[in-house]
Chains A and B, each alone.
Chain A
Amino acid sequence: MFQVRIHGRGGQGVVAAAEILSMAAFAEGRHAQAFPSFGSERMGAPVVSFCRIDDRPIRTHEPVMEPDALVVQDVTLIHQVELFAGLSTDAYVLVNTSRSFDELGLGEFFGGFHPDRLLTCPATELALEYLGRPLPNAVLLGGFAALTGQITLDAIGTAVRERFPGAVGERNMAAADAAYRFVTLEEEEMVHASTD
């Protein structure tokens, strides 16, 4: 089972992100479960959503306590909310930012993690460019696909287009594709850097 936790703020599509990820897994014939941590919904409040993916039926209904992957849609949460609870050093972390982990003040915390599993992606900027709106959720899923390899970009595309039919879905996928390429490139550079 692969467990994902997504953090963001109300209005950023955190809940939809988990749902789309689960629909993408479904499109690949796998079992998936997506649900939010339910708070009183309001714009701007911290929101958490979860997604589990497995090849067998998923029985459990507890929140994702030990995520294999963490997606952070909003960096302003970093020092406000316990984002990193339950993370093992093998976890993947994808942060929506144009800065680096060090610049965010996270360098020390993530010292013992795999560097090639800790990646950033300027999803909000990409969203503004391709969608004209700062909605980074689907974009980040493109980065997620590249980072973890748990899901294909194609499957993400199927799910996004089902969820957002028409032009909206197309634009989201264009941005997700850009994010996928960005993260892939980032990974390659990191691999090259470590082998230099």
Chain B
Amino acid sequence: MDWECVIGLEVHVQLRTQSKIFSGASTAYGAAPNTQACAVDIGLPGVLPVMNREAALMAARFGIAVDATIHPVSVFARKNYFYPDLPKGYQISQFEIPIVEGGHLDIETPEGSKTIRITRAHLEEDAGKSLHEDFHGFTGIDLNRAGTPLLEIVSEPDLSSPEEAVAYLKKLHGLVKALKICDGNMQEGSFRCDANVSVRPKGESKLGTRTELKNINSFRFVEQAINFEIDRQTTLLEEGGRVIQETRLYDPDKNTTRPMRSKEEAHDYRYFPDPDLPPLTISEEEIRSLRESMPELPDARYQRLVRDYGLTEDEASQLTQDLEWADFFESLVTAADGESRLSVNWLLGDLASALNREGLAISECPVSTQQLGALLKRIKDGTISGKIAKKIFATVWENGSDIDTIIEREGLTQITDHNAIEAAVDTVIASFPAQADQVRSGEEKVIGFLVGQVMKATAGKANPKGVNDIVRKKLLG
């Protein structure tokens, strides 16, 4: 039987506020355990939550970006359950009336553009962390994260492959970063995803029983986890079994999912409106002013890169997945006196692979747009060859000095003197008569060998295209 899968994602986006959603404590990551948890975060008797307005405005910005309804009045509710890293015994969240409802995000698929509906996005506080290592039979609790503002973005089950799920996540990731409401750091848990996955016979309209996959904190793991789960469910059903609705934990080390304790499934969260917090209101005026101050979003940026710089759709799409790349690109073009073609080739080529090799983000790039721009200008004006440029790039990457200084110091200026190149070509032809004869008798592919020898003799400083022309002229007339 042919099967198809249905996927919906719940993404927890950590909002980039200075302080927590209901207290004045800092949200900075990485501090010593429990040093950024105040009386409110710890849930001491008598303390009360006070809404951080900034978090609400960030949520509204997201709502505007995905064309959703922003409820003028939304309500905080308590989600009651006991857990050691949940200090109050309840999490303040939004239940019946979330701040953002509806909306959509469009993704690119091999079959073209596809609209993924967003069900809702609601504000809530994060819990702390349980630390199971180094406590010799005990569990440590770090409440630094408790009270960090989260926007939980829930999609409709509109995704029909792991690839689509990843495309949606990447799009969402780029969007919240572009909106400057999330730093997008997945290692630090600023952008986390749970996936609801089910399978059904192809063509069937009724949804199959779903499982919820938790703990997926990279794009790669999302794809792997969903793939594993689709296989697991399909095999189960084909063998006449039944999928149980449950929460499963993804284990990236083993690339499997396993059920979480069923007890945790039996939760009745007993939601009710939090009496400590009045309903959250957002005025039309505020929404209007947010709308007016929206930054350029990835889709608009994409259009503009294609239109203004003549980039291919694929290039524009690569640069707008994370707008820091687009920013880098535009700044590079300026530094390179408008050389957009050369800029995009270098950015997505040498620079991207160097970053990838070192595992660095574009924001951590050791070569500045000024430096790279200067290098591209020297290629453009013929001072250096592309090959030499790669060498210089590597030097700058390692030692970060001035491009022109390196060119001068290392004597890397391209040989543009026609006579000098001709002399070098003559020497090579004389040294490799057999190969020269091959070329003369029509084996053109041997030209490359001779050009290579000339380049070697000139330490790469000759212009390869010029060398090629001279070799051809001399041997083929």
Q: Do A and B bind each other?
A: no
